[in-house]
Amino acid sequence: MNDTPFFQKIERLSQSKTRFHVPGHKGNITAIPKFAAILPYDITEIEGADNLQNPTAELAQSQENMAKLYQSGATLYSANGSTSCIEAMLNLFLCPKDKIIIARNCHISAVRAMGFIGAEPIWLYPQKAQPQALEIEKLLWDTDAKTVYITSPDYYGNMADISSIRRACDRHNAILLVDNAHGAHLKFLPQDIHPLTLGADACTDSAHKTLPCLTGAAMLHLKNAALAKRARQLLNRYSSTSPSYLILASLDSVCGGLKNGIFNFAHITEQVSRIREEFCDWILPVDDPFKITLCPEKIGYTTTEINKELVYDGIYPEFVSDRYIVLMASTSNTNIDFSLLSKILKGFTPKAPLVTELEKLSPPTIMCNLREAMFAPSIEVNTCVAAGRIAATVQTPCPPGIPVVVPGEKITPNIVRMLMKSGILTVDVVK
């Protein structure tokens, strides 16, 4: 069986010399000289290239190959990132007015999807970093919700106990959906801890985040293969009709690499573990073996001070907040990368810990339905005077894209402070 059928087909089609089809560069390497190496591969839905809207040839074969690797009922590709996968996944399992138990650390795309669908969120504010099975089961007892949605791993690397949550869902005949955008690699670690393996009914993977794919490469994994046709229809609804063939070819290429074991996941796990042990006094012991989450206040520094030095030496973190600096590793990182990181971190002599005042979100005051607020007439106001108004759009610092306020909720003074601290100086509110 061909390990990279789609990539090889694109490679053959890239040899075509005369193109009267889009894109406008026509594969001519002089059109955009700095992109000369990839321009011939940047094609569209020409004859023989298959079509993501309805894959039947090499693209369909590639998805089947990936499904075998992840042991899913079906795996569907996306060139629109996990955003479109999340939207399609929620639409696949929810109908208007359905209730869904959802942890508040969800991505902005989940909020928008619920608004478009007309589903009603039952927000869960976990006592710990991730929701616990007992918290979820209590809400399953107390409500008529039949769908549970969690984000695991989160941006910092904390992971939920999906196996326990699966058992709680089974006791209530509930569907379990997982935003696994940061966890495409979890299937291939020395211990398989991918959500689908642990019991999710469906999950999304941003392949480009932790696998060597181009930005935008993502997958929707389904436990039940019978749902694949409907899922593809919904993915089409939320995706561009002009998907990047470069992104899709990168997914197929990675699929072949995964099948042939060319990526050394165990080695990166060991390297990250070594860094964590070396600086255990200020690196959080998170669950994701590929995340390095620094907490500079523990050794008397601000994140700004640490990040300035990292960037000066050429290291760019994934995310910097008031308290944490998140670095994401992958099999493309080298031993030199980890050695440089270690050398820089050693340069910070520990001082007395800093005390940071934590801003916590309180359960919201819901003034009207999420969908109603999303589609209501709205006006833009300065954030500093928004307290007491009803949010008309979801507002979130990005990254990580976690909602501070959701349409239909009352904007409080605390929310105003958090938004302004994140540089969000205007908000849309219901008229």
The per-residue pLDDT for range 270-289, each reduced to its tens digit, is: 999 999 999 999 999 999 99
Same domain, 106 and 150: yes
pTM of the model: 0.95
Same domain, residue pair 112 and 192: yes
Point out the least confidently predicted range of 36-40, 125-129, 380-384.
125-129
Q: pLDDT by residue (tens digit) across 163-186? A: 999 999 999 999 999 999 999 999
> What is the model's pLDDT at position 356?
73
The reply to whether 211 and 83 lie within a common domain is yes
Examine the fold and report which residue of 330, 346, 362 is the final residue of a domain before the chain moves on.
346
From 215, 233, 259, give the residue that closes a domain: 259
Q: What is the pLDDT of residue 349?
A: 96
Is residue 240 scored above 90 in pLDDT? Answer: yes
Residue 247's pLDDT is what?
Answer: 98
The amino acid at residue 254 is V
128 located within any domain = yes
The CATH number that applies at residue 296 is 3.90.1150.150
In a domain, 353, yes or no: no
What pLDDT does 127 receive? 85
Q: What is the pLDDT of residue 397?
A: 75
Q: Answer whether residue 426 is part of any domain.
A: yes
Structural domain span for residue 141: 5-259
pLDDT at 1: 58
Tokens describing residue 308? 């300035």
Q: What integer pLDDT is reported at residue 359 of this predicted model?
A: 64
pLDDT of residue 82: 96
Residue 305, number of CB atoms within 10 A of its CB: 12
The verdict on residue 277 lying in a domain is yes
Q: How many domains does the chain have?
A: 3
If asked whether residues 282 and 251 sit together in one domain, one would say no
Amino acid at 177: L
* Number of C-beta neighbours around residue 132 at 10 A: 17
Residues 298, 155 share a domain: no
126-146: average pLDDT: 95
pLDDT > 80? residue 199: yes
Q: What is the pLDDT of residues 58-93, one digit of tens each?
A: 999 999 999 999 999 999 999 999 999 999 999 999
Q: Are residues 129 and 160 in the same domain?
A: yes
| Within a domain: 200 | yes
Q: What is the pLDDT of residue 159?
A: 97
Percent of the chain with pLDDT over 90: 91
Last residue of one domain, picked from the residues 204, 231, 259:
259
pLDDT of the residue at 250: 98
pLDDT digits (tens, 9 = 90+) for 309-359: 999 999 999 999 889 999 999 999 999 999 999 999 999 999 999 987 666
Tell me: do 98 and 234 sit in the same domain: yes
Q: Does residue 374 sit in the same domain as residue 336? A: no
Domain with 380 in it: what CATH number? 3.90.100.10
**Do 282 and 342 have their domain in common?**
yes
Is residue 360 included in any domain, yes or no?
no
Nearest to 169 by CA among 223, 229, 120: 223
Quick one: pLDDT at residue 395? 87
Neighbours of 79 (CB within 10 A): 22
pLDDT (0 to 100) of residue 370: 95
